[in-house]
Amino acid sequence: MRARELKRWLAEAERLTPAQQEQVLAKLQGQRSQGLVARLLSDRVPTKCPHCSDTRIVRHGQAAGVQRFRCRGCGKTFNPLTGT
């Protein structure tokens, strides 16, 4: 978003009712916490497959902002929380 658009949006936000302000705040806080969780999980790289314990792991895309991995041994995919 450009600075001019943000300034205009913030000026309009002041006109929201208290209930609408709460809705916006809840939405923004939810987005922030999702991003934080995704960043924390992306820092956690597994060293072995939770299914077969093979160490030949490669990155395999993302799902809901969380890094996925594929085991070259068994071919199964997983994320850093699988098996925890």
Q: What is the pLDDT of residue 34?
A: 64
Query: Which residue in the block uniquely carries the two structure tokens 């314990």?
Result: 53
Q: What is the pLDDT of residue 80?
A: 85
Q: Which tokens go with 10?
A: 């913030």
CB 47 within 8 A of CB 56: no
What single-letter amino acid sits at 14?
E
Q: What is the pLDDT of residue 32?
A: 61
12-40: average pLDDT? 77
Query: Which residue in the block uniquely carries the two structure tokens 């792991």?
Result: 57
3-class secondary-structure state, position 21: helix
User: Among residues of the chain, what percentage have pLDDT more than 70?
Assistant: 83
Please tell me whether the overall predicted TM-score, pTM, comes out greater than 0.75 for this model. Answer: no
Closest CA to 37 of 69, 66, 63: 66
Q: What is the pLDDT of residue 71?
A: 96
